[in-house]
C-alpha cells in the first residue's frame, strides 16, 4: 500500500505496529507515531511507559493486542494483563508505584514512633498488635528489619 510506505518513510527504521501506528528508536528514545505524527515517546529502558503507551494504543484503536504481541514479541497474556490494568486504573496503574521499599505499609509516621516505644517498656508484640489494630507479623517484620 502506498499509505504504508509513506508512514514507513517518516523515519528510517520505523516499524509499523499496525496500519495506523508505528515505532522507531533514535538516540535511546523510543518514538511512537500515528498517521505520520509523533504521539508518544519514552526512554529505551522505561518499561512502565512502554506498558502504558502500548495499552493506550490498543484503547485508542490504533492497533490490536495481537499487533503489540507480534510487533514487540510479547506474550499475549501479558498484553491482556496490561490492557486490563489500563482500563481499570488508567495511567496510575503504571506510574503510581508503591515507594515503601520494604517497610510495612501500616507502620509509619506517628504510629511507628508509638509502636517503637512499647516493646522498650516491656509490652508484648501481641498486645501491641491488638491495641494498634494491625497484625503481629507486621510488627515482627518491622522489628526484624530494624525499623
pLDDT of residue 9: 40
Global confidence as pTM: 0.60
- Domain range holding 57? 2-95
- 117 shares a domain with 87: no
- 85 shares a domain with 22: yes
- 126 shares a domain with 58: no
- 80 shares a domain with 127: no
- 137 shares a domain with 70: no
Q: What is the pLDDT of residues 55-87, one digit of tens each?
A: 999 999 999 999 999 999 999 999 999 999 999
Q: Is the distance from CB of 41 to CB of 31 less than 8 angstroms?
A: yes
pLDDT of residue 20: 93
Asked whether residue 22 is assigned to any structural domain, the reply reads yes
Please give, one letter per residue, the 3-state secondary structure of 110-140: HHHHHHHHHHHCCCCHHHHHHHHCCCHHHHH
The whole-angstrom separation of Cα 85 and Cα 73 is: 20
Percentage of the chain exceeding pLDDT 70: 84
- 68 shares a domain with 13: yes
pLDDT of residue 106: 64
Q: At 16, phi and psi to the nearest 5?
A: -80, 125
Domains held by the chain: number: 2
Asked whether residue 100 is assigned to any structural domain, the reply reads no
Q: Is the distance from CB of 43 to CB of 29 less than 8 angstroms?
A: yes
pLDDT of residue 88: 94
Amino acid at each position: 500500500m502506498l499509505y504504508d510506505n509513506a508512514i514507513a518513510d517518516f523515519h528510517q527504521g520505523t516499524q509499523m505496529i499496525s496500519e495506523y501506528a508505528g515505532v522507531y528508536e533514535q538516540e535511546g528514545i523510543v518514538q511512537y507515531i500515528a498517521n505520520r505524527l509523533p504521539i508518544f515517546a519514552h526512554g529505551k529502558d522505561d518499561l512502565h511507559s512502554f506498558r502504558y503507551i502500548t495499552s493506550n494504543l490498543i484503547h485508542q484503536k490504533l492497533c490490536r493486542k495481537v499487533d503489540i504481541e507480534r510487533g514487540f514479541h510479547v506474550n499475549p497474556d501479558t498484553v491482556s494483563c496490561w490492557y486490563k490494568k489500563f482500563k481499570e486504573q488508567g495511567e496510575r496503574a503504571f506510574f503510581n508505584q508503591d515507594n515503601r521499599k520494604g517497610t510495612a505499609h501500616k507502620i509509619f509516621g506517628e504510629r511507628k514512633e508509638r509502636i517503637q516505644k512499647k516493646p522498650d517498656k516491656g509490652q508484648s508484640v501481641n498486645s501491641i498488635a491488638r491495641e494498634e489494630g494491625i497484625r503481629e507479623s507486621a510488627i515482627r517484620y518491622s522489628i526484624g528489619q530494624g525499623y
